[in-house]
Amino acid sequence: MALVTLTSRATAKAALQLIWVALARFFAPQFHTKFRPSVRPVVSVDHDLDKSIPFCPDLVDVYSRFISLWIKSTYFIYREFGRSTLPGIAIFINGLSNLYMESGRIYKTCQSTTVRPKYLKNMKFILIHAFDPHLHCVPSLHVLIVVYNYIMMTKLIEQYSDDTSEYSEQKHYMYSQAVAITESILLVKQHSVNCIPAALFAMSRLHPEFSRNDAAAFINQLFVDTDIEIELESEIKDFMLTQYQDFMDSCETKQQDYSEVLLEFLMDCREISAESD
C-alpha cells in the first residue's frame, strides 16, 4: 500500500502531510515540554476507577495496532475497488491529518498525562517509553483514529460498492478492532477512563454522523468480548457515558467549540510536573 500511495500524486501529498503533521502536532510538542517543563501546563487526568483496571502488558500488540489498522483498511478498499478509490483514500488520509491538527489545538494549550507502569520487559514497551513522553492523553488519538477508521471505511464501502450488504463482515471487523484497541489503551495503562469519553466527544463534534447513540453503543460494547475480568465494569461504562453526555451537553448549552469544553475540563484537573512519568 505504501508503494501505491506514493505513486499517486493525490495520496502521496496526503501521506507526506500526515507524517509532517504527526511529527509537528503530536511528537514535537511532547519533547518540547519534556525538555522545557515550564512551556505549558501539564495536568493529571487519572481517575480512581483506573485503579480497578488490571495492567495487561500482553495487550501491547493490540494497542500498537491502531496504525496498521487504517493502513490495512485503505489497502482493502484499494484492492477491492481499484485505482478509482485513490481520491477517496486521499480524503481519508487528509482526515487523519485533521485529527492530529484538531487534537494539537488542545495539546499546545494544555497537555495531559496519567500514571503508567515503568514496564520495560517488552521491546514495544521500551519503544513506547523512549518515543512517547506520554503528555497527550486528552483527547486520545488512538480512540479518534480507530473510530474514524470505522466511520470512513463504511463511507468508502458505500461509495464504491454496488451492494454494501456484501461487506458486513469487513465492517464488523473494523468496528470490533476499534473496540479492542480502545480497551487495550486502558489495559496497558496508556490512558485513563477520562480519555475515552473525551475522544468520543471530539469525534462527535468533528464528525456529527457519530451520534450520541453511536457513542453509547461503542462504550457499552467495551469489554463484552474479552476474558479479562474488569472489577467495576458497569461503573466504568456508566462513568464514561455520563462524562461523554456532559461534554456534549456543555458544548450545546454554552455553544462552545469542542476544544473549549475539553480545555475547561483539563484546567479543572490537577497540574503536575511535566517530568513525571
Alpha carbon distances (Å) from 84 to 76, 90, 156, 164: 13, 11, 11, 17
Find cell 470512513 and name the residue: 152
- Cα(277)–Cα(261) distance, integer angstroms: 26
Residue 41: asked if its preceding bond is cis (omega within 30°), the reply is no
Give me the sign of the Cα torsion angle 130, 134, 135, 136: positive
The sheet carrying 111-113 orders its strands as: 111-113, 42-44, 270-272
**Which DSSP symbol is given to 64?**
T
What pLDDT was estimated at residue 276? 47
What pLDDT was estimated at residue 36? 87
What pLDDT was estimated at residue 171? 95
What pLDDT was estimated at residue 274? 53
What pLDDT was estimated at residue 11? 85
> In this structure, are residues 25 and 101 in contact, taking their beta carbons and an 8 Å threshold?
yes
Q: How is 230-276 classified by DSSP, letter by letter?
A: -TTHHHHHHHHHHHHHHHHHHHHHHT--HHHHHHHHHHTSEEE-TT-
Find cell 461487506 and name the residue: 167
| Helix and strand counts by DSSP (H, E) for the chain | 13, 3
List strand residue ranges (DSSP E) for 50-119, in order.
111-113
Q: pLDDT of the chain along its 277 residues, tens only?
A: 554 565 577 788 999 999 999 999 999 999 999 888 878 999 999 999 999 999 999 999 999 999 999 999 999 999 999 989 999 999 999 999 999 999 999 999 999 999 999 898 889 999 999 989 999 999 999 999 999 999 999 999 999 999 888 999 999 999 999 999 999 999 999 999 999 999 999 999 999 999 999 999 999 999 999 999 999 999 999 999 999 999 999 999 988 999 999 999 999 998 875 554 5
What pLDDT was estimated at residue 4? 54
